[in-house]
Structure 1
Amino acid sequence: MIAPLLVCFAGPFALMASPLLVLPTVSAARWASTRFTGRDAWWWVPVIASVVAAAGTAALGAAWDLGPGPSALGWPAATTSLTAAALVARRTALRGGRVRHVLGWGAVVAVAVFAIGTGVFATGLVPEYRPPRIDTAELSRSWTDGEGGTLRLDADGTARADGLTDHAEADGDDAEPTAAKYRCSGRGTWSHTEGESTTWDQRVWIRIEGCPGLGDPDGWQVGGTPDRLELAIGYGDPDAPDWYTLTPR
């Protein structure tokens, strides 16, 4: 399974990554190094690579609706891959290597890092993150947003909000989104649906009178770990949402 994946994805990705990501990263690092330190320092490469990787993983996370957890896990992997490829490309360029050599070595490193990462996950040496599977009993408790707002979910399907922030109402306002006028309280109902094939599909549906923004049509996503659960709902730009997160009180 790994070999077809590498042939169909890693090869084309590596060939595109060299001119589109690796070389611009090297150029940006050399410019920043000269601009701010007065010399060409190699350690600017991981600095620039981390910024590029953060933007890339955030964009992919938003496009695929992955939520904050997977995006945070993907950022260091992307940073490592891009940094390794850019450092090799930088070394080749400093030695007077031709552009095709720079592109070639960048592609080789990108494939190697991707292959190692795929192997590590495929063999289970590093488990892939998945949200914990939870049931109604585990959800039936008090939750907090860490800013004074609380949500009580009872086993009979009733819900009670006290001082939660309605980000749907606050979005687009220049005022502080946690201001008192965007805090809402009320009673309503809630329900939980299990993912049909994966825990990524779990959703918590909340309807609170007086808090329309809490009843997102896409539901609340389940995240965190078994020891520290999270409920999160996106708001703002659909392509790059911010997240309002609740944790057990």
Structure 2
Amino acid sequence: MSRNIAERVRERAEAPDGPPPVWSGRAIVAGAGALYVGAALATEAYGFVELTAEAPAQGDGPGGVMLVLPFLTCIGVPSALVASLCLALPTVSAARRVSARLTGRDAWWWVPVLALVPVSAATAVVGITKHPGAGALAWAWLTGAVLLAGAALIARDAALHGRRLLRVLGYGGLAAVAVLGVGAAAFGTGLATEYSPPKVNAAGLVGTWSDGHGGTLRLSPDGTARAEGLRFRCSGTGTWSYEPDGPTAWDQLVLTEFEECSPDWRISGSPGHPKLNRDYGEADDPHWYTLTR
């Protein structure tokens, strides 16, 4: 008995003071798992939001998660490990130091507070260099803050209490089912409505369309078209036609043909304010050149 007591006293004396170290393999893996699951959930939720937004082409919806899942697995897992090591764990470490200095203890709520610092800096850089809309920038900031704060908190929990990867994956699977159920219920009950382009006809397309920067496309009732200063160096006189090209409003096309270019235009907008759109850029990252009337 006395020997056991002596061993326990010695173990306590040799044990380091304070919480376990942050920089451990289990913390890195747990943070990476949280980032991977969070990215998949964000993609799934964005798929539902995408269905309601005005767009020239029909989105993949929440099913897009299945399309990008191989990419998330092959590329996302190594990226999540790097992000966990370079972002999540430094956030936990900095939060521990700030908390100890200001409060004398390791307070968890400093983690989400300090997670805002790198996310806000990255958002500012994107805003300055890419100039996205304020709404897109706000959503990007919120998504990044939630992902980093969640991953850092889970990495902190793994450092303190042991492995958390299986728990993260299990709860992530349940969350994915919950997001799918809530989204399906919202669309099924009419709380959310899927966007569809306005159904137009050839007579309703006649008129002058502008890109807002000096470029115009004039469509005449006799099928002639006049382009001036359009993007892609498209100018001159040519022809145009309206082609439904399918049973749904997404299949509508406006075909124009000029000497130097023959752009096809997709329909978007609303019944009172339709838009003509042409895609450009990479196949996996299209951008849209839009004309309004």
TM-score by length of 1: 0.60
Structure 1, residues 153-202: CA drift from partner, whole Å, max 9, x if none? 11221111122122xxxxxxxxxxxxxxx4x4311111111252221111
Residue in structure 2 matched with residue 208 of structure 1 by the alignment: 258
The yes-or-no answer on 1:94 pairing with 2:156 is: yes
Gaps of 5+ in 2: 1-62, 99-109, 124-134
The alpha-carbon distance between structure 1 residues 243 and 36, as it changes in their structure 2 partners (threshold 3 A), is farther
User: Do the aligned partners of residues 101 and 35 (structure 1) sit closer, same or farther apart at CA in structure 2, a change above 3 Å counting?
Assistant: closer
2-structure distance, mates of 1:203, 1:36: 55
CA contact (8 A) 1:84 1:109 kept: no
- 1:145 corresponds, among 206, 211, 217, to 211
1:120 correspondence with 2:186 = yes
1:236–1:92 CA distance, 2 compared to 1 (3 A):
closer
Gaps of 5+ in 1: 1-8, 52-71, 167-181
Once the two structures are overlaid, the 10-residue window that deviates more, 24-33 or 125-134, is 24-33
In the aligned structure 2, how far is the partner of 1:129 from the partner of 1:92? 37
**Highest Rg: 1 or 2?**
2
Deviation of the 1:137 alpha carbon: 2.1
* Per-residue deviation, 1:247: 0.9
TM-score, reference length from structure 2: 0.52
Partner Cα distance (1:87, 1:33) in 2: 8
User: Alignment identity in percent?
Assistant: 37
User: Is 103-112 or 32-41 further displaced after alignment?
Assistant: 32-41
Considering only aligned residues, what root-mean-square deviation do their CA atoms show, in Å? Answer: 4.4
Distance 1:98-1:233 versus aligned 2 partners, 3 A rule = same
Q: Matched residue of 2:282: which SS?
A: coil
Quote the Cα distance in structure 1 between the aligned partners of 2:288 and 2:65: 34
Match of 1:242 in 2: 287
Residue 42 in 1 paired to residue 104 in 2? no
Given that 2:111 and 2:149 are in contact with CA atoms closer than 8 Å, whether structure 1 keeps it comes out as: no
Q: What is the aligned partner in structure 1 of residue 48 from structure 2?
A: none
Partner of 1:198: 248
CA gap 1:110/1:140 in 2 versus in 1, 3 angstroms: same
Q: In the superposition, relative to structure 1, how do residues 84 and 116 fare at CA in structure 2: closer, same or farther (>3 Å)?
A: farther
Which among 162, 176, 187 is matched to residue 228 of structure 2?
162
Q: How many residues in Structure 1 have an aligned counterpart in Structure 2?
A: 194
- Asked whether the 8 Å contact 2:210–2:291 carries over to 1, the reply is yes
CA distance in 2, matches of 1:113, 1:235: 32
Match among 67, 84, 88 for residue 30 of structure 1: 88
1:216-231 equivalences under 5 Å are 216=263, 219-231=264-276
Q: Is 1:110 matched with 2:172?
A: no
Amino acid at match of 2:112: W
The letter of the residue matching 2:181 is A
Output one character per residue of 1:29-55: Cα deviation in whole Å (capped at 9) or x when no partner: 52574799987642648959x99xxxx
Distance in 1 (alpha carbons) for counterparts of 2:183 and 2:82: 21
Greater relative CO, 1 or 2 (CA 8 Å, sep 6+): 2
Between structures 1 and 2, the one with greater helix share: 2
- Given that 2:224 and 2:237 are in contact with CA atoms closer than 8 Å, whether structure 1 keeps it comes out as yes
For residue 247 of structure 2, what is the amino acid of its counterpart? S
